[in-house]
Amino acid sequence: MQKKIILYFLLSNFFALAQIKNESKSDTYTSRKKIYQINFNTDHWIKNSESENWDAEFHDKYNLLAAYFIEYDYFISDKKIKSTIEEEYKNFGKIKNIKIYKKKINDIEVNYFECELNFNDFLYKYQGFIYNGKGGSIQMTYGGQAETIEQNQNLIDELNNGISIIN
């Protein structure tokens, strides 16, 4: 009986240690207006310390997938979403196959978009959303070569699910 108790004790310690090692590290980015926050897993996403055109930039640990967040001081109407996206990429080429649809992310109804861009003979895919909320609109965009987007949809969903409104 005493051997069984020792065995149970050792096994429970082993499983407890395994769970501690498997815990993810996380960090939080708070938007400049303090309206939104993004909780992200630092094992999967790295926040760039500097960004020129976006409020926050992230990339996956292999630097194949990029994510961009911006908080606008104005609202982007549903009618202007397509032209806003096309304008962002005009220096790189013409956006193709753009799809815009409503989607819920953490109880926030957003205008989700998906599109493609041929640049230097490589096919890039972009997806993300625009949301009109308190203080203006926000935009979250993910981009990379087509294969990267398709293989890492789970990482995109993970970062999307980390976005919330600060009450």
DSSP label at 92? T
Hey, CA dihedral for 105, 110, 115, 117, is it positive or negative? negative
In a domain, 16, yes or no: no
Question: pLDDT: is 50 or 80 the higher one?
Answer: 80
In a domain, 17, yes or no: no
- Asked if the model's pLDDT at residue 15 lies above 90, the reply is no
Helix (H, G, I), strand (E, B) or coil at 153: helix
In a domain, 118, yes or no: yes
- Asked if the model's pLDDT at residue 8 lies above 90, the reply is no
In a domain, 110, yes or no: yes
In a domain, 15, yes or no: no
In a domain, 132, yes or no: yes
Let me know if 166 is exposed, middle or buried by CB neighbors in 10 A (0-12, 13-18, 19+). exposed
Q: Give the whole-number percent of the chain exceeding pLDDT 70.
A: 86
Domains contained in the chain, number: 1
Q: Which residue intervals of the chain are DSSP H helices? A: 2-22, 81-89, 146-151, 153-161
> How does pLDDT run across 91-113, given as a tens digit for each residue?
888 899 999 999 999 989 999 99
* pLDDT mean across residues, the chain: 87
In a domain, 18, yes or no: no
Q: How far apart are CA 65 and CA 69, in angstroms?
A: 14
In a domain, 10, yes or no: no
The per-residue pLDDT for 17 is 43
Domain limits at 119? 24-165
CATH of the domain at 86: 3.40.1000.10
> How distant is the alpha carbon of residue 87 from its chain centre?
21
Q: How far apart are CA 160 and CA 154, in angstroms?
A: 10
- Asked if the model's pLDDT at residue 40 lies above 60, the reply is yes
Cα angle: 104, vertex 145, 121; to 5 degrees: 135
pTM for this model (two decimals)? 0.82
The token pair at 70 is 């911006």
